[in-house]
């Protein structure tokens, strides 16, 4: 069956489950199908965790249910803490369906590539929001410039699909490390200015705790360098 037909089947399913009026498929990822549409007149994005035929049926149902419910809880806690995130409109964990407000704007990745004048200011705001998330024990898990959308001059953090709850310094450090790695890989000339402003915002949210996390970030980076050096010795 063609991919378009498969997507059409899923769109029909979501219409039956939640009454979603689908406009277009935004993306087909490894884990979920993203659909822009309307629900009760609200502009939304639906995230549907597609069943995986290669997994045992009971395990697949458990994972889809657990991850959908967890993502909804993470977003709810983040919103309650004042972080700019999509709001949860509808959840059906049994079906693996999460419907969120649609954040219309431009990804931070594209803004940086186009030479955004407010880039450092936005970085400071993003750093502060990440600090608030970590204060709440929320780890994003995939903190990149592709998962930040700027709407009306305000940054929104999206896609908590790999997120989880944790107060471990290691987990917070990995979040910051991922963000810096994302900058280094896609915007190398901007790393110093953007990341320093990000850290200023992070410190303002976390206070002295931020220093412990930053030490962990450096430790994580050193581990990565050590592994890279070992690989070079083994294969060259």
Closest CA to 20 of 73, 82, 97: 97
Decide if 118 is catalytic: no
Angstrom distances, CA of residue 58 to CA of 53, 54, 147, 205: 11, 12, 31, 41
Among the listed residues 142, 159, 171, 175, the single catalytic one is 142
Cβ count within 10 A of residue 184: 12
Residues marked as catalytic: 142
């Amino acid at each position: 069956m063609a991919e378009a037909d498969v997507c059409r089947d899923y769109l029909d399913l979501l219409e039956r489950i939640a009454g979603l009026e689908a406009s277009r498929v935004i993306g087909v990822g490894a884990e979920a199908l993203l659909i822009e549409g309307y629900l009760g007149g609200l502009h939304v994005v639906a995230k549907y965790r597609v069943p995986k035929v290669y997994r045992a049926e009971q395990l697949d149902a458990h994972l889809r249910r657990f991850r959908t419910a967890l993502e909804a809880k993470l977003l709810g806690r983040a919103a309650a803490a004042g972080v700019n995130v999509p709001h949860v409109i509808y959840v059906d964990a049994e079906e693996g369906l999460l419907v969120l407000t649609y954040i219309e704007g431009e990804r931070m990745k594209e803004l940086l590539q186009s030479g955004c004048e407010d880039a450092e200011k936005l970085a400071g705001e993003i750093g502060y929001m990440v600090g608030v998330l970590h204060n709440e024990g929320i780890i994003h898990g995939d903190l990149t410039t592709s998962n930040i959308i700027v709407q009306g001059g305000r940054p929104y953090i999206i896609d908590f699909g790999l997120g989880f709850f944790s107060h471990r310094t290691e987990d917070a450090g990995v979040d910051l490390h991922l963000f810096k790695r994302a900058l280094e890989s896609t915007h190398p000339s901007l790393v110093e200015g953007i990341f320093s402003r990000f850290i200023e915002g992070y410190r303002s949210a976390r206070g002295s705790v931020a220093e412990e996390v930053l030490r962990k970030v450096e430790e994580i980076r050193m581990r990565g360098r050590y592994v890279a050096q070992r690989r070079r010795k083994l294969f060259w």
